[in-house]
Amino acid sequence: MRNVSPWREPVPPDGTMGEPRARGRFGQYGGRYTPESLAQACREVDEAFRRAWADPGFRGALARLLAVHAGRPTPLTPAHRLSEALGVRLYLKREDLTHTGSHKINNVLGQALLATRMGRRRLIAETGAGQHGVATATAAALLGLEATVFMGERDIERQALNVFRMRMLGAEVVPVTAGSRTLKDATSEAMRHWVGATGDSHYCVGSVVGPDPYPWMVRELQRVIGEEARGQCAAELRTGVPDHVVACVGGGSNAAGTFAGFADTTARLVGVEAQGGAGASRGRPGVMHGCRSLFLQDDDGQITPAHSAAAGLDYPGVGPEHAHLRDLGRARYVTVTDEEAIAAAVRLARTEGIVPALESAHALAWVIRAAGDGDLPAGSTVLMTLSGRGDKDLSTLKELL
Ligand SMILES: *Cc1c(COP(=O)(O)O)cnc(C)c1O
């Protein structure tokens, strides 16, 4: 069917990375597995977002916020010295240069603007290491909203500085003492809290996960990465489109936003997961946090905890659209170890003068490995999203190096 809605991008005939099917389905994944009270709240978010996304007024206001507050557009940086050493042509999409230092700001500014449009006065969010919590607190402060951030007690101990940063920005940080006292439990608690507060609060999910419409909405809000990069590649590359498009995958939002700009091209899409958090590479179908997707599970179907030196990749699942892209074969998912990521971070620092987030270093680690073993043929052009800057990881790196 021909795509006629004004806000959608042209997509291939199978609709890859277009709108999900009815009830937020991406193939056999996605959906809205919530109690009725939350399903109703999700329907309201869905309706409000569809209207907003079709409204040039909303689009314009968001584009302006992204420009004047977040620093968009971000540059496309050719990695000259590293490219020469690897025998490929590597270009970095610099999300590390946004305000707050990662792509997460693209999503939260969009959802915060939507919340004000819906008449909500408060944002609810979950956070693991604090990156999404800080971005949410930032957007809330900017738009005059309150922010309540749920965070596992263990993460609060481990991430004292980010907890302080959220409080500095005026957010309330609520410790979660259930279960493993980390991200998975913080997410469950945030959803539970939202049930009793849907009238005045918007739940701001941090990645392309959760019940419909979140996976689709967050991908659309991150699409700006892929669209900017597409235009920049068109200007920079003789072929217009890179041979490979690479991004790291935790829940999968920076990858989904990047892939969305190239899904209708010949570019090969590669999502790089942490060895210990490889939902797309090693997960099995299941339902968690309101959606059906791929999750790391034991033989009884219990979710098994993820482990990664990169906090943002420490999630035992992946967004439903990535699960579908994997099944379709449109994108490929690979894993790298903590050690490979750390070595890649050092290499980028010393060849290009950029200290990447450990999450982003996973994507680079695969590029380095693939250039070495011929998976990336000599002379290939590679677009890689550098999802964030490494400042937050310096104390981890200092311990390990
Ligand atoms: C949170 C985070 C990620 C992982 O989240 P996605 O939703 O998979 O993009 C990756 N990189 C950085 C810098 C992050 O902060």
Q: What is the pLDDT of residues 291-335, one digit of tens each?
A: 999 999 999 989 898 889 888 898 899 999 999 999 999 999 999
User: Is pLDDT at 350 greater than 90 in this prediction?
Assistant: yes
**Does CATH number 3.40.50.2000 belong to domain 71-102+223-400?**
no
Q: Is the CB of 281 under 6 A from ligand 1?
A: no
Ligand 1 mutation target, pool 272, 315, 359, most atoms within 8 A of CB: 359
- Token reading at 167: 């409080």
| Ligand 1 atom nearest to CA at 131 | 15
User: Is pLDDT at 11 greater than 50 in this prediction?
Assistant: no
The answer to whether 40 and 86 are in contact (CB under 8 A) is no
Distances (CA, A) of 3 to 12, 73, 222, 316, 395: 10, 27, 20, 35, 48
Q: Is the CB of 93 under 6 A from ligand 1?
A: no
CA gap 149, 234 in Å, rounded = 40
Average pLDDT, the chain: 93
Whole-number pLDDT of residue 8: 32
User: Is pLDDT at 363 greater than 80 in this prediction?
Assistant: yes
Whole-number pLDDT of residue 153: 93
pLDDT tens per residue, range 141-190:
999 999 999 999 988 988 899 999 999 999 999 999 988 888 889 999 99
Q: Within 13 Å, how many C-alpha atoms sit on residue 269's CB side?
A: 25
Q: Is the CB of 250 under 6 A from ligand 1?
A: yes
Mean pLDDT of all residues in 37-49: 96
Whole-number pLDDT of residue 15: 61
Mean pLDDT of all residues in 268-282: 94
pLDDT tens per residue, range 205-243:
999 999 999 999 999 999 999 999 999 999 999 999 999
CA gap 25, 72 in Å, rounded = 31
CA gap 200, 287 in Å, rounded = 28
* 128 or 362, greater pLDDT: 362
The answer to whether 81 and 352 are in contact (CB under 8 A) is yes
The answer to whether 272 and 248 are in contact (CB under 8 A) is yes
How confident is residue 14, by pLDDT bands cut at 50, 70 and 90? low
Active site residue 387: yes
The answer to whether 385 and 260 are in contact (CB under 8 A) is no
Q: Is the CB of 102 under 6 A from ligand 1?
A: yes
Q: Is the CB of 104 under 6 A from ligand 1?
A: yes
CA gap 392, 401 in Å, rounded = 15
Whole-number pLDDT of residue 158: 82
Q: Where in the chain is the domain with CATH 3.40.50.1100?
A: 26-66+104-203, 71-102+223-400
pLDDT tens per residue, range 89-138:
999 999 999 999 999 999 999 999 999 999 999 999 999 889 999 999 99
Exactly one of 93, 104, 184, 392 is catalytic; which is it? 104
In this structure, the number of other CB atoms found within 10 A of the CB of residue 242 comes to 25
Three-state SS at 12:
coil
Give one word for 40, left, alpha or beta, with left for phi > 0 and alpha for psi -120 to 50: alpha
Residue-wise burial string across 28-63, b where 16 or more C-beta atoms lie within 10 A, e elsewhere: ebbbbbbeeebeebbeebbebbbebbeeeebeebbe
Share of the chain above pLDDT 90, in %: 85
Residue 230: partners with Cβ closer than 8 Å, 6 or more residues away = 241, 261, 262, 265
Whole-number pLDDT of residue 184: 87
Q: What is the 338 CA–ligand 1 centroid distance (Å)?
A: 15
Whole-number pLDDT of residue 341: 97
User: Is pLDDT at 64 greater than 50 in this prediction?
Assistant: yes
| pTM assigned to the model | 0.95
What's the gap between Cα 172 and its chain centre? 23
User: Is pLDDT at 5 greater than 70 in this prediction?
Assistant: no
Q: Which residues pair with 269 in a beta bridge?
A: 245, 331
Share of the chain above pLDDT 70, in %: 96
DSSP per-residue letters across 126-161? EESSSHHHHHHHHHHHHHT-EEEEEEEHHHHHHTHH
CA gap 4, 41 in Å, rounded = 27
Whole-number pLDDT of residue 10: 37
Distances (CA, A) of 232 to 77, 278, 337: 10, 30, 31
Residue 278: partners with Cβ closer than 8 Å, 6 or more residues away = 296, 333, 335
- The amino acid at residue 176 is V
Whole-number pLDDT of residue 6: 31
- Token reading at 347: 């290499």
Give one word for 101, left, alpha or beta, with left for phi > 0 and alpha for psi -120 to 50: left
Ligand 1 mutation target, pool 248, 281, 335, 348, most atoms within 8 A of CB: 248
Reported CATH class of domain 26-66+104-203: alpha beta
Three-state SS at 10:
coil
Exactly one of 83, 93, 126, 308 is catalytic; which is it? 126
Q: Is the CB of 107 under 6 A from ligand 1?
A: no
User: Is pLDDT at 393 greater than 70 in this prediction?
Assistant: yes
